Amino acid sequence: MNRLVVISVITLVVVIDAVSGALPSTIKVCSRNDPKVDQCIIDAVDIIRPNLAAGNFGKEFDIPKLEPLYIEQIKMQRGQDFQAVFNKLDVYGCSKFKVERLQSKPMNLSFDLAVNIPKLNFTGKYSLKMKMLLLNLQGKGDLKGSLTNTRLAARIRGYTEKIDGKDYVRFHRIGIRLKVESGTFHLDNLFNGDPVLGQVGNQVINENSRIFLDEIIPGLEKNLGRIFTEIVNNLLKTATIDDMFPEKV
């Protein structure tokens, strides 16, 4: 009987230790002394790509998923002649990113990276009223489109918060800058559903898509910065800097 109790206690301790781990078990840890620490971090990110896509790191970690990435709203306004709102956007393809460059200073919690996303497709709702060339565009309805070769530069800066003598990791709002090579858009129900004017309107928008892109990008940068900060801080909420980057692995 005593032996059974001892075994039960040991089992409980092991389970509690596994559940309360500082980092999700899928995250590969990199040594702060690794001369190739940048590549180690890139490899670690690649390993958790499926988890990032599904937002699944276990019930202890509440992480927004990347597939699809949900954006509540993007507003565009440039005077009275250019007003548009995109709502309830589902963006597909974010998990297909490729890290092209990383410069890190792990013990300073400083990371600068460049990422390329080959293709992003999105659906959602829109409302707009704008003048483009000589055409007064207006409408409200469903939206779909795509972005090709989106380049993302992220500036990630962290700090430590001392709790019970341990230095826990926290991150400031992540700074995002985007460059999009090209984009296409299709807006249903332009001009109250008039099929001829709707086709003309979509043609004008796509022939001048750079104007649209330049207005969308700031709102997209702001939303991505917020979402990525939420992901990082939730993943590392119980991790110390020594958990993230130990001397030895």
**Antiparallel, parallel or unpaired: β 166-171 and 135-163:** antiparallel
- The yes-or-no verdict on residue 100 having pLDDT over 90 is yes
**Antiparallel, parallel or unpaired: β 166-171 and 69-77:** unpaired
In CATH terms, the superfamily for domain 36-244 is TULIP domain (3.15.10.30)
With 0.95 as the threshold, say if the pTM is over it: no
Nearest to 174 by CA among 214, 217, 223, 216: 223
pLDDT for res 212: 84
pLDDT for res 130: 86
Average pLDDT score over residue span 49-64:
93
pLDDT for res 158: 96
SS3 237: coil
Average pLDDT in the chain: 88
Q: Tell me the two tokens of residue 143.
A: 């939206």
Query: Mutual orientation of helices 209-235 and 195-207 as an angle, nearest 10°?
Result: 70
Average pLDDT score over residue span 109-115:
97
**Model pLDDT for residues 221-241, shown as the tens digit of each residue:** 999 999 999 999 999 999 999
SS3 219: helix
SS3 134: coil
**Structural domain boundaries in the chain:** 36-244
- The yes-or-no verdict on residue 13 having pLDDT over 60 is no
Average pLDDT score over residue span 119-142:
91
21 pLDDT band, cuts 50/70/90, is low
